[in-house]
Structure 1
Amino acid sequence: MQKITPFLWFDNQVEEAIIFYVSIFKNAKVGKVARFGDAGPGPKGGVMAATFQLEGMEFTALNGGPRYQFNEAISFVVKCEEQDEIDEYWERLSEGGSTGRCGWLKDKFGISWQIVPSILAPMLVDPEPQKTQRVTEAYLQMTKIDIAELRRAYEGQAVAS
């Protein structure tokens, strides 16, 4: 049982968002869906709240109206092993949204994601400060993270511009 569950407040796009996320992640599924009845406050039959899972993590989503908006203060980190995995998540999640620096993007619903290679954290804490400095400098110049460029920086090879 997952002790802590992210709870996402949408205006009225829960169903669309869940379908979107479940289509992107390979290990994903829709859970329970609660719909509005005669008492409202949303349209009868519309989704009030739902649960879904992405890569074994359960989420709850609510159609709560326009009162609250997502921002970068909270983001979801997707750790990737290979460049093709980074590329796929980057392209799919940023579709209809926007991209930022250092592997950050916002999806079309306003949720922030960080698409990063799993090798980045160990590189940033390497005991050799020259390596961490080179990786940091390379990383800060990137929008979508390029694993080959990080490896070149780590090894002290020239980084492509």
Structure 2
Amino acid sequence: MMKVTQHLWFEKDMEEALRFYTGLVSGSAIESITTIPAETPSGPAGSVKIASFTLGDQRYMAIEAGPLDPFNHSFSIMVECDDQAEIDRLWSALEKGGTVEQCGWVRDRWGLCWQIAPKRLGELMSDPDPAVAKRVTEQMLKMVKLDIAPLEAAARG
């Protein structure tokens, strides 16, 4: 089987970001951080760092190599949470220095987009009764940080 790894480009502060992310998501770890000793197209010797890490069950690579393209919504990290306490914990940590957006999206202080969602949301939106899925979707669209109780109430009608 092929190995697939997401890759993130940081302008600066990659190590700080990775320590934050791996401390936030259970089952995560930084595997390596390497400083490139040679000159690269992105800068002089010692100015570029490469890291490998996991977030939960996903593999990532990261590079700190100065400005390139900023993170945007076309790539986000989605974390499915089992309960509201976990949603609240992640949301609170990610919004510090970042910005919050509708429907469970938050952009952290490094500009990376996250979707913090209850696992239950996918189940409710996949209900075989289209009326249930519609009510849940309409409720979700009214929210910034997702809240399980109103989603469940919307499902019940």
Asked if Structure 1 and Structure 2 have the same fold, meaning a TM-score greater than 0.5 normalized by the shorter chain, the answer is yes
Q: Does 1:103 align with 2:98?
A: no
Distance 1:151 1:128 in 2: 14
RMSD, aligned α-carbons: 1.7
| Other-structure match for 1:135 | 136
Q: Deviations over 1:72-107 (max 9, x none)?
A: 111111001100010011111221110000000101
> How many residue pairs align between the two structures?
155
1:64 aligns with 2:65: yes
Counterpart mapping for 1:7-156 below 5 A: 7-37=7-37, 39=39, 41-42=43-44, 44=46, 48-156=49-157
Runs of 4+ in 1 over 6 A off after TM superposition: none
Instruction: Give ranges in structure 2 of 5+ residues lacking alignment.
Output: none
Distance 2:145 2:85 in 1: 12
Any gaps of 5 or more consecutive residues in structure 1?
Answer: 157-161
Percent identity for Structure 1 against Structure 2: 37
Q: Is the 8 A contact 1:36 1:42 kept in 2?
A: no
Query: Are the aligned partners of 1:14 and 1:47 in contact in 2 as well (CA < 8 Å)?
Result: no
Q: Which TM-score applies when normalising by structure 1?
A: 0.89
Contact 2:39 2:45 in 1 (8 A): no
Amino acid corresponding to residue 30 of structure 2 in structure 1: V
Given that 2:38 and 2:44 are in contact with CA atoms closer than 8 Å, whether structure 1 keeps it comes out as no
TM-score, normalization by structure 2: 0.91
Q: Distance in 2 between matches of 1:76 and 1:105?
A: 10
Cα separation, partners in 2 of 1:54 and 1:155, compared to 1, 3 Å: same
